Structure 1
Amino acid sequence: MKKIINSNYFYAFISLCCALWLFFFVSTPGVGSTRDSNQSNTSTVTKKATINAPLQLQADVDKYYITGYPEKVKITIEGPAALVTATKNTQNFNLYLNLRDLSIGQHRVQIKESGLNSELTYSIKPKYVTVNIQKRETKKFTVDVDYNKESLATGYETGTVDVSPQEVTVTGAASEIEKINRVVVKPILPKGIKSTFDQEVLVQALDKNGKTVNVTLDPQTVHVKIPITIQSKQVSINLKQKGNSSGNGYTLESDVKNVRVFGTKDQIDDIDSSIDVPVDLSNVTESTKKTVNLGDALGSKVSFTDPTSISVTISKTNSNTLANTTGNQTSSTSSSDSDSDDSSSSDSSSTNSTNDNNDSE
């Protein structure tokens, strides 16, 4: 055994075995080659992604007004995962319509791309679009204001409407500009509004039939301010009897002497410094108190009052008092008549005396 171990053949055999083991170790994938294998697999994995990309125009947009194309289109790209991810994040490519050599009118045009890596495949949706090319025109229009006055609370009125800016610039195809009948804002006032309306409102270009015209407005909104107010006046009240069917006499009194009335300018202008308030005595048979609703009593003369109602004391007139008053007045009249007769007698005596003296002479 010692001879075999110490012989040169033994060492040669061991060397051969080691060489064969090293050869198979290097040739077979193992732990040392895992990283390289992963990198290789990653570079060969494919990926697909869909991007919403803006659509650009290659045309003389200062001379022509172009419609019919979408602002964005979908492009689906496919290729190496890393490249697809980078392209989706950066979007370093363009989708465009080449309209430079096209005349006025409608055209069906293919959407094209530039800037995509050659290793990527792609598809665009839609592939074609129909565009309308027209001569471009720009014009200024004054903004009208159209709102529903019935939304105002009763008695309230609007003042001078303020629009800022008062003019807008309208750009579009010359044929569309010719269709414009007016440019208007339509503020929506809340029902029963009592205070000033102050908001930004969308501007619309309308034709003679009230339909929207396909143009571009600059600015697209304007500031609208509509003053909403109500007129008022402080007046005294005159209590007036109404519907007294009993034939009795009554006096009317109230602690409230003055009220403030509210209404439109025309309503307030028609009212003097005082206003008659009728008090219904149809069912009154004795002294009492009654609450009178001023709104019902005044009717359409005003919109409302402050206070809205008053308390009226209704006092039945005493008949004895009336009789005594009448008797005193009669007695006074008789006394006056007697004094008048005495005065006449005196005047007569004086006259007779004068006549006697004249005879004596």
Structure 2
Amino acid sequence: MKKIINSNYFYAFIALCCALWLFFFVSTPGVGSTRNSNQSNTSTVTKRATFTVPLQLQADVDKYYITGYPENVKVTIEGPAALVTATKNTQNFNLYLNLKDLSIGQHRVQIKESGLNSELTYSIKPKYVTVNIQQRETKKFAVDVDYNKEFLATGYETGKIDISPDTVTVTGAASEIEKINKVIVKPILPKGIKSTFDQEVLVQALDKNGKTVNVTLDPQTVHVKIPITIQSKQVTINLKQSGNSNNSNFTFESDVKSIRIFGTQDQMDAIDNSIDVPVDVSDVTGNTKKSIDLGDALGGKVAFTDPDSISVTINTGSSSSSSNNTNSSNGTNTSTNDSSTNNNSSSSNNDSTEDNNNSEE
């Protein structure tokens, strides 16, 4: 046995067995090449992805104004998963419209791509777009302001409006520029506003029918400041009788001698240094006090007042009448007493005459 192990034939046999084992191990499918198989499977997996890409123009945009095309389009790509993922993340390709050889007018043009890997298949939506190519024109316009004055609180009015900037640059097709009737901003004032309006407002280019013209505005918004104020002044009040009454001897008293009135400049100009305040006496039968709402009493002469109401004492003159009636009654009594005195005197004279006659007898 020892001779067999030490012989050269034994080692040759062992080497042959090992060689045969390695041969069968390598050649058997699914064994020994798992890693290479996985790599191969990964490279053959396909993937699909859809995303949005900016649409570019190949045209002389300084000379022509082009409309009708979308800013972005959707593209769907399909191919090896790793390549699809990389393409979606980097977007290292272009979708474009080639308009260089097209004349003025409308054209239906196919969207093309450049830069996509040849291993990828793709589809673009939309595939075709209709563009309108016109001569380009640029013009400056002053900005007008249009707002609803009815939203101002009663008595308030606007001052000089500030627009910054007060002009905008309008770019578009020459035919569209010709349609522009005015460039305006339309600030929306809160209802009942009492303070200055100060906001950024969108600029619009309108035709004579008030419809928006398809042009580009620079800037697209402007700063609009509308001062909103109310005028006021201090005036004395004159309490005046109003309403039907048989009594014409009313007198009025109030601790308030002057008030501050508020309103528009025209309302202030129409009132001097004093203002008449009517006091309704149609329901007054005796001395009384009334609270006069100055807003109701003054009507549309002012917007409002400070204070908004005053207390007025109304004297009917009834106390004087009672005094006169008393005096008249006293006079009658005096006259009666005088008559009685005269009668007594006459009686005394008669008695004296009778005495004289008796003496003569």
TM-score tier by shorter-chain length is: 0.7 to 0.9
Q: Which residue of 2 aligns with 1:233?
A: 233
Q: 1:260 corresponds to which letter in structure 2?
A: R
Q: Which residue of 1 aligns with 2:61?
A: 61
Q: 1:206 corresponds to which letter in structure 2?
A: L
Q: 2:26 touches 2:32 (CA, 8 Å); kept in 1?
A: no
Q: 1:246 touches 1:285 (CA, 8 Å); kept in 2?
A: no
Q: 1:278 corresponds to which letter in structure 2?
A: P
RMSD: 2.4
Q: 2:170 touches 2:215 (CA, 8 Å); kept in 1?
A: yes
TM-superposed CA distance for 1:10, in Å, is: 6.9
CA distance in 2, matches of 1:196, 1:32: 84
Which residues in structure 2 correspond to 1:1-361 (within 5 Å)? 15-28=15-28, 33-243=33-243, 245-247=245-247, 249-317=249-317, 318-320=319-321, 323=324
1:248-275: CA deviations, max 9, x gaps? 6333222222111011111111111111
Q: 2:237 touches 2:258 (CA, 8 Å); kept in 1?
A: yes
Q: 2:247 touches 2:316 (CA, 8 Å); kept in 1?
A: no
1:151-189: CA deviations, max 9, x gaps? 111111111111111111111111111111111111111
CA distance in 2, matches of 1:123, 1:269: 75
CA distance in 2, matches of 1:322, 1:263: 47
CA distance in 1, matches of 2:234, 2:295: 15
TM-superposed CA distance for 1:315, in Å, is: 3.0
Q: Which residue of 2 aligns with 1:341?
A: none
CA distance in 1, matches of 2:209, 2:244: 60
CA distance in 1, matches of 2:271, 2:32: 106
1:118-175: CA deviations, max 9, x gaps? 1111111111111111111111111111111111111111111111111111111111
TM-superposed CA distance for 1:63, in Å, is: 0.6
CA distance in 2, matches of 1:296, 1:39: 93
1:33-80: CA deviations, max 9, x gaps? 433322222111111111211111111111111111110111111111
TM-superposed CA distance for 1:286, in Å, is: 1.9
CA distance in 1, matches of 2:32, 2:310: 104
Q: TM-score, normalised by structure 2?
A: 0.84
TM-superposed CA distance for 1:314, in Å, is: 2.1
Secondary structure of the 1:190 match is coil
CA distance in 1, matches of 2:321, 2:69: 99
CA distance in 1, matches of 2:140, 2:236: 54
Q: 2:111 corresponds to which letter in structure 1?
A: I
CA distance in 2, matches of 1:250, 1:31: 125
CA distance in 2, matches of 1:68, 1:214: 11
Q: 2:239 touches 2:276 (CA, 8 Å); kept in 1?
A: yes
Question: Unmatched 5+ residue regions in structure 1?
Answer: 328-361
Q: 1:157 touches 1:228 (CA, 8 Å); kept in 2?
A: yes
TM-superposed CA distance for 1:6, in Å, is: 8.4
Q: 1:31 to 1:248 in 2, by over 3 A?
A: farther
Q: 1:7 to 1:204 in 2, by over 3 A?
A: same
Q: 1:228 corresponds to which letter in structure 2?
A: I
Q: 1:314 to 1:78 in 2, by over 3 A?
A: same
CA distance in 2, matches of 1:4, 1:296: 137
1:318-338: CA deviations, max 9, x gaps? 2258749x99xxxxxxxxxxx
Q: 1:211 to 1:320 in 2, by over 3 A?
A: closer
Q: 1:231 touches 1:265 (CA, 8 Å); kept in 2?
A: yes
CA distance in 1, matches of 2:90, 2:6: 71
CA distance in 2, matches of 1:235, 1:42: 94
CA distance in 2, matches of 1:269, 1:31: 107
**Could you tell me the percent identity over the aligned residues?**
83
CA distance in 2, matches of 1:103, 1:320: 105
Q: 1:278 to 1:15 in 2, by over 3 A?
A: same
Q: 1:180 touches 1:207 (CA, 8 Å); kept in 2?
A: yes
Question: Unmatched 5+ residue regions in structure 2?
Answer: 329-361
1:282-316: CA deviations, max 9, x gaps? 11112222111000000111111111111112234
Q: 2:237 touches 2:257 (CA, 8 Å); kept in 1?
A: yes
CA distance in 2, matches of 1:93, 1:12: 64
Secondary structure of the 1:191 match is coil
CA distance in 2, matches of 1:229, 1:147: 16
TM-superposed CA distance for 1:26, in Å, is: 2.6
CA distance in 2, matches of 1:6, 1:185: 109
Q: 1:322 to 1:152 in 2, by over 3 A?
A: farther
